[in-house]
Structure 1
Amino acid sequence: MAFKISIFFPITLLLFTVLSVSSISKAELDAQYYAQTCPQMEKIISETVLNASKYDPKVPARILRMFFHDCFIRGCDASILLDSTPTNKAEKDGPPNVSVRSFYVIDDAKAKLEQACPHTVSCADIIAIAARDVVTLSGGPNWDVLKGRKDGRVSKASDTINLPAPTLNVSQLIQSFAKRGLGVKDLVTLSGGHTLGFSHCSSFEARLHNFSLLHEIDPSLDTEFAQDLRKKCPPKPNRDQNAGQFLDSTASVFDNDYYKRLLAGQGVFSSDQSLVGDYRTKWIAEAFAKDQNLFFREFVASMLKLGNVGVSEKGEVRLHCRVVN
């Protein structure tokens, strides 16, 4: 099996890339969408993101996660930005999104854009561009973001149950991504976004204590790494509420270290570690661990594809990102 994978790998990966690009070409978006109506838009957003990141180094990981969580619910429509009302609990207050932060960065960029070109740039496009900017700012690839998204008017906390949980296995992850029109390659590639970020113990503590009848600790974890996690995440109540673990060893740098860690049994989430335990995904993770440039190229393709999820002409351009017009 191994020699077959090595022989056909380039052709297969090329096919994945072609499929991604063909999906992108069907999108109702355009890299030059604001060229005439707000030519300074990208500069305004980039400067806002840069300044916020200098003040708070957690901003890049938080903005990238915000983009993923927005697109996975109702498509990329900025529904994650809407505040709850007395009659509706919004996405940002759903359990998986309670830890999503740095909404103020999008608010700041929107306020500046409303001064420069009123009623023009959607909040959904701001998130997409900011997500690209934090990747580039952290040492990752750069790309032309396709634009023209509209802002949605609906946001329900109950919908966040559909976000991929850190406990899912590969089959469940493949199914979740497929519902968004994303393939196996996109799953492995976009999971690489975890190269930026930190997780609290609650998202992975089940792997460390009383894992199963046969194992106290998840056997897919490297033994030394597991013991280190157990020290950082002792059973409650003897634990700092802020305790947790960075998702790779270079958590502020966008690189391929995440995949190297998975191959070493040091994936923090069981969903991440499962990617190297299944033949459908392992070979892609191995390829990215060996070739960072390959990972960067495929990440760009998958981010463009993700950015097209749920895009339609319906919606509005919000005046304020937290409320509908």
Structure 2
Amino acid sequence: MAMKNSTISALIVILALFSSSHVSYGELRLGFYSKTCPNVEQIVSQVVKDAFSKNSTLAPLMLRLYFHDCFSNGCDASLLLDGSASEKTAPPNLSVDGYALIDTVKTAVEKNCTGVVSCSDIIALATRDLVTLASGGKTRYEIPTGRFDGKVSSAATVKLPGPKMSVSDTIKMFEDRNLNVTDMVLLLGGHTIGVAHCSFILDRLYNFKNTGKPDPSMNTTLVEELKKQCPKDSVEQVINLDQDASSSNIVDASFYKQIRSRRGILHIDQLLATDPLTSDVVMNLANGNDFLARFGQAMVKLGSVGVLDKVTGEIRTSCRSCKNPLCT
């Protein structure tokens, strides 16, 4: 995958959140598997690297999976569980993917360390490695481990921010998970890569708020460009979330520059640039060179939401089914 030149330093940004392999972050810590599975991160990294070399779209897929799992019911891999009414079946999760990669990583890890490493930790590690790869190697944040897997997965419990929500309502949802406004803007910056279905923006192109006209907050040139890609009867067509063609597959600050130029795809993304609650953060990220490090910090913070322990959780040997017979 070709990588564009960037104003960000070519040096790899190592996010030094911890000074020791045994410093904790909540109930989590670096080096959690140092004795039980010391090479787990190398195993995960190699599997992910091989998969990414064949399919770079795995990066946005895994970012979305990580967010959807952690945000709804905490980082417990409950999204991975199969079932007729599991989290997978909730409408916001029907387009989530990346499960096959987690299965592959889990198989490789189990061959070396049977019944030791949780699926929730594998999600966190695999996502970190894909962010590194999608940034062209410009960032690598350290992610603490020690999560346990959930025993319950119910579609009825899924609660995620929607693309048409207001900024204030979205902030409230993040704050309920101990994530602040800056965390929210950074995590939505994950839209620096990936795509959205045209169906999510048809109203913005053709009939915004039943006016029969496009959303006036969207750049008029972009509106005309997107109408060619998203006709009124669009169903399966997709468009890049970052409309800078040279950067749409790269984890960088381009997303913030695009939304400041009224080129946001999702309505909530565009609102970030104009709402007084978030506009200063967006401007700072668009103009500065520290997005990668700060994004890593936000990803680590997200990874601490709703973490289970050995009493409330388990270590699954298969990420799609519970080890505990009482699992639902």
Same fold at TM > 0.5:
yes
Which aligned pairs between 1:140-151 and structure 2 lie closer than 5 A?
140-151=138-149
Structure 1 partner of 2:305: 309
Structure 1 partner of 2:53: 54
> 2:128 & 2:145 partners in 1: Cα distance?
12
Matched, 1:100 2:115: no
> 1:111 & 1:188 partners in 2: Cα distance?
35
How big is the shift at 1:214? 4.2
Per mean C-alpha deviation after superposition, the further-off stretch among 46-55 and 102-111 is 46-55
> 1:242 & 1:55 partners in 2: Cα distance?
23
RMSD over aligned Cα, in angstroms? Answer: 1.5
Which aligned pairs between 1:124-273 and structure 2 lie closer than 5 A?
124-139=120-135, 140-160=138-158, 162-214=159-211, 216-236=213-233, 239=234, 241-248=235-242, 249=244, 250-273=247-270
Whether the 8 Å CA contact 2:78–2:149 is kept in 1: the answer is yes
Matched, 1:115 2:114: no
Whether the 8 Å CA contact 2:66–2:123 is kept in 1: the answer is yes
> 1:105 & 1:34 partners in 2: Cα distance?
21
> 1:164 & 1:148 partners in 2: Cα distance?
27
Structure 2 unaligned regions, length at least 5? 1-16, 18-22, 324-328
How big is the shift at 1:291? 1.2
Structure 1 residues 213 and 84: alpha-carbon distance in aligned structure 2, compared to 1, 3 A threshold:
closer
| Other structure's SS at 1:252 match | coil
Structure 2 partner of 1:13: none
Matched, 1:323 2:301: no
Whether the 8 Å CA contact 1:208–1:218 is kept in 2: the answer is yes
Structure 1 unaligned regions, length at least 5? 1-17, 19-23
How many positions carry a matched residue from both structures? 295
> 1:35 & 1:26 partners in 2: Cα distance?
16
How big is the shift at 1:204? 1.8
Structure 2 partner of 1:5: none
Structure 1 length-normalised TM: 0.88
Displacement over 4 Å in runs of 4+: none
> 2:265 & 2:307 partners in 1: Cα distance?
32
Per mean C-alpha deviation after superposition, the further-off stretch among 103-112 and 296-305 is 296-305
Deviations 1:259-314 (A, max 9, x none): 0000010110001001011111001111111113x212211221111110001312
| Other structure's SS at 2:322 match | coil
Whether the 8 Å CA contact 1:27–1:311 is kept in 2: the answer is no
Return the match for 1:277 from 267, 274, 277.
274
Whether the 8 Å CA contact 1:166–1:204 is kept in 2: the answer is no
> 1:217 & 1:74 partners in 2: Cα distance?
36
Structure 2 partner of 1:42: 41
> 2:276 & 2:24 partners in 1: Cα distance?
30
Structure 1 residues 263 and 215: alpha-carbon distance in aligned structure 2, compared to 1, 3 A threshold:
farther
Structure with the higher helix share, 1 or 2: 1
2:139 maps to a residue whose letter is P
1:278 maps to a residue whose letter is D
Whether the 8 Å CA contact 1:31–1:147 is kept in 2: the answer is yes
How big is the shift at 1:96? 0.8
Structure 2 length-normalised TM: 0.87
How big is the shift at 1:111? 0.7
Structure 1 residues 206 and 25: alpha-carbon distance in aligned structure 2, compared to 1, 3 A threshold:
farther
> 1:26 & 1:115 partners in 2: Cα distance?
28
